[in-house]
């Protein structure tokens, strides 16, 4: 076990734990936001740079501070390490910069985006963004494309977190989903427009932190905050069958996997509870599900909190209202 101090909170964690995961063990305000890291996906993280933290002391042995801000999702803790997240001005500036970069080319189409209300970029912009954009240039645009008949890709909204790429690579059995081109022209693509034809391809929708990948069976049907999420399960030959059905009255509008407060699919019985496409897209009849009861949703999202305040990055009390 190694001892690490994050924003003044001392915690003992197992060796090899990353700073982000150590912070998550404590929870609350000291947890850096993460747009690309996904603990269930091997190799993810390090790309979006929103989880940058300041390391004020490297370790007990070598207490020198690290010169640069480090990505907390991919930096392992050392015994005696002192980390500053919310308490560091450098981190706040750096994170505000990253937020601005992520939003620079992001369309302001939240009013018509299916992800609105459960979008991590909305949360990030709310906490660390500016009131107005300084980006005067024309935004980078792409045409929306279909990935198979059930998934829509809006590349304009993508922040290139690579989560869907790792998912397609690790969950589905063939690699037809990747990134083409480079720099600001980089785009998510199924190679040469080849659709992902796989029982688990729908999970790329769940891992997407923004509205780049959306469920075509739910497109424009309803705002997520009008729906009631219910834990439900069914006997599925393909997957665990444990999902969340999003209901309006007695109708199921959409089905997603069960996600924790960091937006990650939960581990159930020791396994990540990915759900199959049959459950997700084709099982919308209430009688096919055993509805367990209302799901306690984490109101991480700006809109699901139903709590608008003046935008102020320093105002942290808008978080964690359950």
Partner 1 sequence: MGRKLLLEHIDVPGIETFEVYRQKGGYRSVEKALKSMSPDEVVEEVKKSGLRGRGGAGFPTGMKWSFLAKPEGVPRYLLCNADESEPGTFKDRYLMQYLPHLLIEGMIVSSFALGTNLSYIYIRGEYLFVLEILEKAIAEAYANGFLGKNILGTGYDLDLRVSPGGGAYICGEETALIESLEGKRGNPRIKPPFPAVKGLWGCPTVVNNVESLATVVPIINMGADEYVKIGTEQSRGTKLISACGNLERPGVYEIDLGLSVEEFIYGDDWCRGIKNGKQLKALVPGGSSVPILPTHLITKTANGDTRFMSYESLSDGGFASGSMLGSGGFIAFDEDQCIVRNTWNFTRFYAHESCGQCSPCREGTAWMEKVLWRIENGEGTMEDIALLEDINKKIEGNTICPLGDAAAWPVASAIRHFREEFEWHIKHPQEAMSRNYGLLKGATV
Least separation in angstroms between residue 228's CB and partner 1 is 35
Number of residues that bind partner 1 (CB under 8 A): 37
**Does residue number 142 form part of the binding site for partner 1 (CB under 8 A)?**
no
**Does residue number 68 form part of the binding site for partner 1 (CB under 8 A)?**
yes
Give the one residue of 16, 89, 182, 322 binding partner 1; rule: CB under 8 A. 182
Using the rule CB under 8 A, give the single segment among 101-109, 145-153, 255-263, 269-277 that binds partner 1.
101-109
Using the rule CB under 8 A, give the single segment among 120-128, 145-153, 157-165, 229-237 that binds partner 1.
157-165
Contact call for residues 163 and 38 (beta carbons, < 8 A)? yes
Report which DSSP code applies to 259.
B
Least separation in angstroms between residue 196's CB and partner 1 is 18
Report d(CA 120, CA 37) in Å as an integer: 12
Contact call for residues 133 and 139 (beta carbons, < 8 A)? no
Report d(CA 322, CA 319) in Å as an integer: 9
Q: Which residue has the tokens 């020791």?
A: 270
Report which DSSP code applies to 270.
T
Q: Residue 296: how many CB atoms within 10 A of its CB?
A: 9
Q: Which is nearer to partner 1, 103 or 245 (CB)?
A: 103
Contact call for residues 168 and 204 (beta carbons, < 8 A)? yes
Least separation in angstroms between residue 25's CB and partner 1 is 22
**Does residue number 235 form part of the binding site for partner 1 (CB under 8 A)?**
no
Least separation in angstroms between residue 278's CB and partner 1 is 32
User: By CB under 8 A, what part of segment 69-88 binds partner 1?
Assistant: 69, 71, 74
Q: Which is nearer to partner 1, 212 or 232 (CB)?
A: 212
**Does residue number 168 form part of the binding site for partner 1 (CB under 8 A)?**
no
Helices in 60-119 by DSSP H: which ranges? 89-104
**Does residue number 34 form part of the binding site for partner 1 (CB under 8 A)?**
no
* Of 164, 154, 162, residue with least CA distance to 113: 154
Using the rule CB under 8 A, give the single segment among 131-139, 228-236, 277-285, 308-316 that binds partner 1.
131-139
**Does residue number 48 form part of the binding site for partner 1 (CB under 8 A)?**
yes
Return contacts of 237-240, CB within 8 angstroms, 24+ apart: 238/199, 238/276, 238/278, 238/279, 239/199, 239/200, 239/273, 239/274, 239/275, 239/276, 239/279, 240/268, 240/269, 240/271, 240/273, 240/274, 240/275
**Does residue number 160 form part of the binding site for partner 1 (CB under 8 A)?**
yes
Q: Which is nearer to partner 1, 138 or 287 (CB)?
A: 138
Q: Which is nearer to partner 1, 61 or 134 (CB)?
A: 134
**Does residue number 134 form part of the binding site for partner 1 (CB under 8 A)?**
yes
Contact call for residues 32 and 20 (beta carbons, < 8 A)? yes
* Of 248, 257, 204, 251, residue with least CA distance to 226: 248
Q: Which is nearer to partner 1, 105 or 298 (CB)?
A: 105
**Does residue number 59 form part of the binding site for partner 1 (CB under 8 A)?**
no
Give the one residue of 26, 92, 100, 297 binding partner 1; rule: CB under 8 A. 100
* Of 158, 32, 146, 11, residue with least CA distance to 82: 11
Interface residues toward partner 1, by CB under 8 A: 45-50, 52, 67-69, 71, 74, 93-94, 97-98, 100-102, 104-105, 134-137, 140, 159-160, 162, 178-179, 181-186
């Amino acid at each position: 076990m190694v001892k690490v101090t994050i924003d003044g909170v001392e915690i003992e964690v197992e060796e090899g734990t990353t700073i982000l995961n150590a912070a998550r063990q404590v929870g609350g305000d000291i947890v850096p936001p993460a747009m690309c890291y996904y603990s269930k996906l091997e190799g993810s993280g390090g790309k979006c740079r929103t989880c940058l933290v300041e390391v004020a002391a490297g370790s007990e042995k070598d207490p020198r501070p690290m010169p640069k801000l480090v990505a907390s999702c991919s930096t392992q803790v050392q015994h005696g390490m002192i980390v500053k997240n919310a308490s560091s001005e450098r981190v706040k500036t750096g994170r505000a910069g990253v937020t601005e970069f992520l939003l620079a080319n992001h369309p302001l189409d939240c009013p018509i985006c299916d992800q609105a209300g459960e979008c991590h970029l909305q949360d990030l912009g709310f906490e660390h963004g500016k009131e107005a954009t300084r980006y005067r240039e024309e935004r980078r645009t792409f045409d929306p494309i279909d990935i198979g008949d059930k998934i829509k890709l809006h590349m304009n909204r993508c922040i290139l977190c690579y989560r869907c790429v790792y998912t397609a690579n690790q969950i589905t059995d063939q690699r037809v989903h990747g990134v083409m081109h480079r720099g600001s022209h980089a785009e998510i693509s199924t190679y040469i427009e080849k659709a992902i034809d796989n029982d688990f391809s729908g999970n790329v929708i769940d891992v997407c932190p923004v509205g780049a990948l959306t469920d075509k069976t739910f497109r424009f049907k309803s705002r997520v905050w009008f729906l009631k999420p219910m834990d439900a399960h069914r006997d599925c030959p393909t997957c665990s069958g444990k999902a969340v059905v999003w209901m309006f009255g007695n109708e199921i509008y959409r089905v997603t996997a069960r996600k924790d407060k960091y937006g990650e699919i939960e581990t159930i019985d020791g396994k990540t509870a990915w759900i199959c496409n049959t459950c997700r897209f084709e099982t919308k009849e209430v009688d096919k599900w055993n509805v367990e009861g209302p799901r306690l949703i984490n109101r991480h999202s700006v809109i699901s909190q139903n709590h608008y305040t003046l935008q102020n990055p320093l105002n942290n009390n808008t978080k964690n209202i359950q």
